Amino acid sequence: MGLKKILDNMKPAFSEGGKLSAFGSLFDAAETFFYVPNETAKVRGAHIHDAIDSKRSIFFVIIALIPAILFGMYNIGYQHNLAVGVPTDDIFGQFLYGLGVMLPKIVVSYAVGLGIECAVAQWKKEEVHEGFFVTGMLIPLIVPVNCPLWILAIATAFAVIFAKEVFGGTGMNIFNPALVTRAFLFFAYPAMMSGDKVWVNENYMDCINGTIDGYSCATPLGQLGAGEPVTYDAMDTIIGTIPGSIGETSFIAIMIGAVILIWAGIASWKIIVSTFVGGALLAYLLPYEGAQNFEWWEQLTVGGFAFGAVFMATDPVTAARTECGKYIYGFLIGAMAIIIRVLNPGFPEGMMLAILLMNVFAPLIDYCFIQSNINKRAKRAVK
Partner 1 sequence: MANVIKLRKGLNINLKGKAAAQVSAVPASKVYGLVPDAFWGMKPKVVVKEGDVVKAGDALFVNKLHPEMKFVSPVAGKVTLVERGDRRKVLSVQVEAAASQEYVDFGVKNATSLSGDEVKAALLESGLFSFFVQRPYAVVANPSDAPKGIYVSAFSDMPLAADFEGVVLAGEVENFQTGITALSRIAKVYLGVQPGSKLTSVKDAEVTVFDGKCPAGNVGVQINNTHPINKGEVVWTIGAEEVIFIGRLFNEGKVNLTRTIAVAGSEIKTPSYKKVLVGAKIADIVAGNVNTDKKVRLIDGNPLTGVKTSEEGFLLAHSTEVTAIPEGDDADELFGWIAPRFNEFSVSRSYFSWLQSSKKEYVLDARVKGGHRHMIFSGEYDSVFPMDIYPEQLVKAIIAGDIDRMEALGIYEVAPEDFAVAEFVDSSKVELQRIVREGLDMLRKENE
**Is residue 122 within the footprint of partner 1 (CB under 8 A)?**
no
Please say which residue, 60 or 232, places its beta carbon nearer to partner 1: 60
Q: Which stretch binds partner 1 (CB under 8 A): 47-55, 92-100, 237-245, 352-360?
A: 47-55
Burial of 369 (0-12, 13-18, 19+ CB in 10 A): middle
Name the one range near partner 1 by CB under 8 A: 28-36, 148-156, 193-201, 274-282: 28-36
Residue pair 360/305 in contact by the 8 Å Cβ criterion: no
Q: How many CA atoms lie within 13 A of 257 on its CB side?
A: 31
C-alpha span between 342 and 336 (Å, rounded): 10
The H or E element that residue 284 is part of is helix 269-285
| CB atoms inside a 10 Å sphere around CB 305 | 29
Q: Does 49 bind partner 1 (CB under 8 A)?
A: yes
The number of CA neighbours under 13 Å toward the Cβ of 103 is 7
CB of residue 279 to partner 1, shortest distance in Å: 22
Among 70, 154, 256, 370, binds partner 1 (CB under 8 A): 370
Q: What is the DSSP letter of 189?
A: -
Helix 351-382 with 323-343: angle, nearest 10 deg: 150
Which residue's CB is nearer to partner 1, number 56 or number 226?
56
Nearest distance, CB of residue 46 and partner 1, angstroms: 4
Q: Which of residues 224-263 bind partner 1 (CB under 8 A)?
A: 263
Q: Which stretch binds partner 1 (CB under 8 A): 37-45, 77-85, 280-288, 291-299?
A: 37-45
Q: Is 150 in the site for partner 1 (CB under 8 A)?
A: no
**From the CB of residue 367, how many other CB atoms can be counted at a distance below 10 Å?**
15
- 351-382 helix and 177-188 helix, angle to the nearest 10 degrees: 130
Which one, 51 or 191, has the nearer CB to partner 1?
A: 51
Smallest gap from Cβ 168 to partner 1, in A, equals 7
Contacting positions for partner 1 (CB under 8 A): 1, 3-4, 32-57, 59-60, 127, 129, 131, 168-172, 263-266, 268, 316-317, 319-323, 326, 366, 370, 373-374, 376-378, 380-381
